[in-house]
């Protein structure tokens, strides 16, 4: 029997087993979430030392404001939230102190909340709702834990209206899958089966809604002041971005994918996240391209707000690279 030929020895600089195993699972997850037919696209990553009994760090790839309490308490170490302003508003909702969270960076994403209502109702401001009491057939996002649901509830609440009132006035409220430009909800708009659309991502569906006779409700200064006191930020729909508009519409801002943690998170972890963003930025796509725009991500920009102060380790890191203040 001939002797088997052994492979050459592996190089001394080879990757070690824990790294290989972890990277393999991360790459598998990365591939799966990129498949159009793969529904489960949010991820939790847990990290621990080889042989340790407990995981030390937990990184969440979702964007729901439900994670705010978990991050503030340390049950999750790093998470994302969209929009950035949902962090401040979420702290208020949870009864947590304003200083309970710290930012690491914000990926730019310029967006606004849009409350579109058929012009047949003759209303143009959110403040008109309580007196007009329109019988709206309203479509909302099916995902109940999305930040946009809190934005809508609080925006209506700022003028003394609740979703239950819309039903009491003879209207309907349906929770439909996807954004309004995607097939199911777009078909409702196209067929005239709804006459009100409340959602974010307006750049996707604003022109469609207006082409079907809807107008966006404007927020008055007093209403915006009340909402700003609750942690929200004002935004604008402009004719430059929406040619069908005849003037600028004041609304709520829905910008930024903010990466955040708690103020007491270890410097080692926060700096590690920052270093990873720098090292991998050419391989991480965002809405504006295939490579993260690091120079924009810690500067508290209109499209990339830092809704809570930077973690001290993040501030030092970005400052050392000439990014931010």
Give the list of residues 6+ apart from residue 12 with CB closer than 8 angstroms, or none.
none
Write down the pLDDT at residue 228.
97
Crossing angle of helices 267-280 and 312-320, rounded to 10°? 40
Which residue, 225, 287, 213, is CA-closest to 250? 225
| pTM for the predicted model, two decimal places | 0.90
Please state the domain extents for the chain.
56-108+256-320, 114-252
Query: What CATH number was assigned to the domain covering residues 56-108+256-320?
Result: 3.40.190.10
Rounded to an integer, what distance in angstroms lies between the CA atom of residue 177 and that of residue 117? Answer: 19
Write down the pLDDT at residue 1.
56
Reported as half-sphere exposure (CB side, CA atoms, 13 A), residue 147 has a value of: 30
8-state DSSP, 264: T
Alpha-carbon distance values, 165 to 33, 145, 179 (Å): 39, 21, 24
Q: What are the pLDDT digits (tens) for 6-50?
A: 768 768 887 777 787 788 778 888 888 888 998 988 899 999 998
Stretches where the chain sits below pLDDT 50 are none
Instruction: Indicate if 114-252 has the same CATH topology as 56-108+256-320.
Output: yes
Reported as type and span, the H/E element at residue 81 is strand 79-81
Residue 231 region, left (φ>0) first, then alpha (ψ -120 to 50), else beta?
A: left
Rounded to an integer, what distance in angstroms lies between the CA atom of residue 298 and that of residue 323? Answer: 6
Rounded to an integer, what distance in angstroms lies between the CA atom of residue 244 and that of residue 252? Answer: 19
The CATH class, in words, for 114-252 is alpha beta
Query: What's the whole-number average pLDDT of the chain?
Result: 93
């Amino acid at each position: 029997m001939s002797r088997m030929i052994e492979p050459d020895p592996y190089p001394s600089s080879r990757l070690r087993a824990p790294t290989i195993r972890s990277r393999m699972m991360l790459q598998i997850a990365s591939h799966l979430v990129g498949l159009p037919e793969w529904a489960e696209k949010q991820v939790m990553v847990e990290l621990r030392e080889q042989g340790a009994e407990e995981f030390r760090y937990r990184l969440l790839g979702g964007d729901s404001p439900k994670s705010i309490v978990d991050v503030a308490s340390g049950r999750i170490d790093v998470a994302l939230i969209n929009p950035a302003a949902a962090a401040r508003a979420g702290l208020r909702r949870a009864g947590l102190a304003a200083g309970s969270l710290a930012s690491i960076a914000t990926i730019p994403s310029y967006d606004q909340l849009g409350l579109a209502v058929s012009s047949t109702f003759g209303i143009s401001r959110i403040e008109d709702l309580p007196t007009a009491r329109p019988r709206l057939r309203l479509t909302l996002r099916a995902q109940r834990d999305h930040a946009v649901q809190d934005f809508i509830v609080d925006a209506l609440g700022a003028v003394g209206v609740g979703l239950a009132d819309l039903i009491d006035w003879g209207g309907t409220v349906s929770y439909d899958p996807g954004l309004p430009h995607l097939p199911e909800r777009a078909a409702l708009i196209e067929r005239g089966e709804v006459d009100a659309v409340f959602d974010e991502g307006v750049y996707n569906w604003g022109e469609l809604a207006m082409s079907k006779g809807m107008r966006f409700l404007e927020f008055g200064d007093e209403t915006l002041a009340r909402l700003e006191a609750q942690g929200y930020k004002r935004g604008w729909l402009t004719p430059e971005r929406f040619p069908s508009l005849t003037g600028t519409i004041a609304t709520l801002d829905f910008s930024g994918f903010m990466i955040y943690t708690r103020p007491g998170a270890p410097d080692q972890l926060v700096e590690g996240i920052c270093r990873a963003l720098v090292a991998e930025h050419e391989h991480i796509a965002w809405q504006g391209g295939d490579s993260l725009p690091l120079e924009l991500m810690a500067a508290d920009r209109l499209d990339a707000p830092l809704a809570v102060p930077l973690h001290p380790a993040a501030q030092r890191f970005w400052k050392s690279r000439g990014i931010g203040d």
